[in-house]
């Protein structure tokens, strides 16, 4: 009987400590959204004369970045410049545009306005559809053009 009473007291103390600790912890913190610029200076990137620019902000330490860049490269054409902005090679661009996470992919028009962007991994279908829709609005079915 004494052991049962001691076990009940110990269990009560443990429960009280857990409840107290949970009330003191701030709980889950919101994850900040990555910074996405609304415009870029086309002269900061290769082929500023191309009507369209796809820029992929990357880092050599980012496992996802290489896949995003591989999916963007086939878009290269006389009309579309595809440029990698790797943080170790171009820290100036990351700083100038406030890029604080990678990969970030931008689809940019001739005036430097970001018309579509993706933070994180993006499928070929979504990236290619976003570029097609930017170049010719209405050309992509609604379920394929959900850029951010």
pLDDT (tens digit per residue) in 88-103 = 999 999 999 999 999 9
pLDDT, tens digit, for every residue of 31-77? 567 889 999 999 999 999 999 999 999 999 999 999 999 999 999 99
Please give the DSSP secondary-structure letter assigned to residue 73.
G
* CB under 8 A, 24+ apart: contacts of 118-123: 118/68, 118/147, 118/148, 119/33, 119/34, 119/36, 119/148, 120/34, 120/64, 121/64, 121/67, 121/68, 122/68, 122/71, 123/71
* pTM for this model (two decimals): 0.75
Q: For 42-144, CATH number?
A: 3.40.30.10
Asked if residue 147 has pLDDT above 50, the reply is no
Question: What's the sign of the alpha-carbon dihedral 35, 38, 41, 47?
Answer: positive
Predicted confidence band of residue 145 (pLDDT cuts 50, 70, 90): very low
């Amino acid at each position: 009987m004494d052991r049962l009473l001691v076990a009940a007291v110990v269990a009560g103390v443990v429960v009280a400590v857990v409840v107290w600790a949970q009330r003191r912890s701030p709980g889950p913190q919101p994850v900040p959204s990555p910074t996405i610029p609304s415009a870029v200076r086309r002269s900061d990137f290769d082929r500023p004369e191309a009507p369209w620019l796809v820029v992929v902000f990357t880092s050599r330490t980012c496992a996802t970045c290489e896949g995003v860049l591989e999916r963007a490269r086939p878009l290269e054409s006389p009309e579309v410049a595809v440029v990698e902005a790797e943080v170790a090679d171009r820290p100036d661009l990351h700083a100038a545009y406030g890029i604080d996470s990678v990969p970030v992919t931008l689809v940019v028009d001739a005036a430097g306005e970001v018309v579509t962007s993706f933070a994180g991994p993006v499928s070929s279908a979504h990236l290619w559809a976003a570029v097609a829709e930017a170049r010719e609005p209405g050309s992509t079915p609604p379920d394929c053009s959900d850029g951010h």
